[in-house]
A and B are shown apart, each in its own frame.
Chain A
């Protein structure tokens, strides 16, 4: 036991000085180093619940698995549905992280998952973030780039309403383009809003069910 001079309230002031964000940044850096050492290219796929993150990953894995060793880390609050949807598309390993209530992945959760990946034979890792357009924006995972998936069914102004996510992203997949007309969304509107927020940023229109635009996403990420 360490001894301290107590104050009039019979207590002591302990200096802690711990910055939680700095600690998470350190962990993100460790993840970056982990990928770098193994020459693995890693990507964070983020977006709302139902935007099409899993469909995009499944479509990308299907196209890449012939030539590449691909692993998927799928983050969800509960269940293994997403992992099951990607299994069978040719990924060498599919891991499910259940955050148990946490609304985003952070570098610590990803780091724990990395320990369960095979030591060799991988060169691409997709990390599927928890379905949420807000919280994941503030936590870096230590990956190369973030793809924000946004679907036509989320409305015309989803990008302007969630600037933090699109500030943190490196590429936007504008998904479910096939239903835009049915839900009354002019796809030019979210594209215009992205251009105002991030001038020159790449946006790819996709339909991850038919496969439209998936090759372009891969090209934009330097994977094709």
Chain B
């Protein structure tokens, strides 16, 4: 169950970021996981997919890069945003 608690933390971080950005459905999650954590990648994938599905983001794509260290880094998330006005007309908040 080690991986479940880590997946739950990762999903919490992703869902919070998506909410803050007015996002709707999370389509992909990019992670960097250090080999020293001895985390089973397939387990993380399985639990993240299950947690995402429960929160309305079924079919999320989980991309994991294995690094050398101890980090469990949530790099970024690809999020669907509803009724996005054209950025050119908005004039602010562009990143």
Contacts and interface: CB of A to CB of B under 8 A. Distances in A.
B2 A135 contact: yes
A21 B34 contact: yes
Interface stretch (A81-89, A99-107, A170-178, A190-198): A99-107
Contacts of A10: 80-81, 84
B77 A101 contact: no
B27 A2 contact: no
Interface stretch (A11-19, A33-41, A50-58): A11-19
A9 interface: yes
A15 B32 CA distance: 13
Contacts of A22: 71
B3 to A, nearest CB: 10
A12 B79 contact: yes
Nearest to B8: A102
Given A6-B84, A20-B10, A21-B72, A14 B18 contact: yes
Interface string B1-23: 11011100110011001101111
Chain A interface: which size bin?
A: 20 to 34
A3 B18 CA distance: 12
A104 B2 contact: yes
Contacts, number: 103
B37 A138 contact: yes
Interface string B83-95: 0110100101111
Residue of A4, A7, A10, A101 ringed by the most chain B CB atoms within 10 A: A4
Contact of A18 (B13, B70, B81, B87): B13
A1 interface: yes
B85 A3 contact: yes
Nearest to A101: B1
Given A13-B76, A21-B37, A6 B81 contact: yes
Interface of A: 1-7, 9-22, 101-104, 134-135, 138, 164
Closest 5 CB pairs of A and B: A1-B22, A20-B72, A135-B2, A3-B93, A11-B80
Interface of B: 1-2, 4-6, 9-10, 13-14, 17-18, 20-23, 27, 34, 37-38, 70-81, 84-85, 87, 90, 92-95
